[in-house]
Structure 1
């Protein structure tokens, strides 16, 4: 009974896997979730209704109000809901070139001059010209050559504000930020997420993208221009599933 159940389960899950592949072919690849662990970077931002008591009027003979921000307090992000500025300055390039070559030659020769006195009888059964001393002989030659090269260059210089979505037990913070700019019928979207250490945040409440662990940075757009530049969905599906 287990085999029919397993087959039925596989048939039910196959459309889900196919839908995921079709979605990737049509919409493009998605970024992996932020780890450490991934559950600590929720899709929905957390909101804090009241982080601290509201400032109260100054009491008699006092210049300070209860709950007011102190002048010399550290203004860097440290709690859920705080805002942190991320400086993205990517200027990477890579040039890789590989060449491989291999060759192999092998040969095998075997004979049965004596086989319990049956070597003469085999000549009557097998086609003419049979020789027990040269019963088997093989030769093979294999050659393989390959070459490949990769040249990549990318440059992005942007600034985005991110929100602290959670604080890990060791004090590290998970941040997420999205920025959208619309010009006519085209929307440009910048998304950043990852994990930062409090000591890496500068006094100006900024951090570089190179100091973000599990960084997920996405810069793209949607609209008329992106739709024209994108490969048609039908062509993407054919290229995705074509075995040739």
Structure 2
């Protein structure tokens, strides 16, 4: 019985020297009040971006150059008939070109908050991949958004993004047919 009492007091003294450790159920970095909104505000939260981008560009160029050079020579000899010679060089160039491009991208994708900047802005990034008629379509989005620009429904329009990088890429037979062949580039480089 005595050994039990010694062990008990020894264990009690040993535990008395160790401070008590407890964790709180409240975590400040992830707490959201019940009456708070559902906007993204920390790293890992998601926000929906409505991509509404329209762009158009038109370029016209007209070039006209004319050049004419002429050299004439006359030579007369007393015993031989008159020798006359001439060289005329001329060149004309008319060139023109027109480039017109219009694009429109409508998409909606949900991206994640990757960083909170010192001023409170959120850096967001994400990608959406679709398979349409056997062709892989991919939309990648990166940007910076102010929390003020995120709606109550946790949605932001792409025109409100700063430093936005939106990439829309398609891969498949149709996309391959729209690319110029390598030999066409060589012919254009040679000027044919």
**Shorter-chain-normalised TM-score: which range?**
0.5 to 0.7
- Name 2:54's counterpart in structure 1: 91
State the 1:91 CA deviation: 2.5
* Residue number in structure 1 paired with 2:151: 202
Higher helix share: 1
Q: Aligned pair 1:80/2:28, yes or no?
A: no
1:197 and 1:164 map into 2 onto residues whose CA distance is: 12
2:110 matched to 1:164?
no
SS of residue in 1 equivalent to 2:47: strand
1:38-66 per-residue CA deviation (whole Å, 9 max, x = no partner) reads xxxxxxxxxxxxxxxxx96xxxxxxxxx5
For 1:174, the equivalent position in structure 2 comes to: 123
Other-structure match for 2:71: none
CA separation of 1:174/1:185 partners in 2, compared to 1, >3 Å: closer, same or farther? same
CA distance in 1, matches of 2:128, 2:177: 23
Match of 1:217 in 2: 166
Matches within 5 A, 1:91-110: 91-97=54-60
Helix, strand or coil for the counterpart of 2:159? helix
The CA deviation at 1:88 is 1.0
CA shift at 1:72, angstroms? 1.2
**TM-score of the superposition, structure 2-length normalised?**
0.58
Note the alpha carbon deviations across 1:115-136, whole angstroms, 9 max, x for none: xxxxxxxxxxxxxxxxxxxxxx
Query: Which stretches in structure 2 are left out of the alignment for 5+ residues?
Result: 1-23, 66-92
Deviation at 1:208, TM superposition (A): 1.1
Q: For 1:180-209, what per-residue CA distance to the aligned partner results, in whole angstroms no more than 9, with x for missing partners?
A: 112453111111111111111111111111
1:238 aligns with 2:191: no
The equivalent of 1:8 in structure 2 is none
Q: CA RMSD in A?
A: 3.4
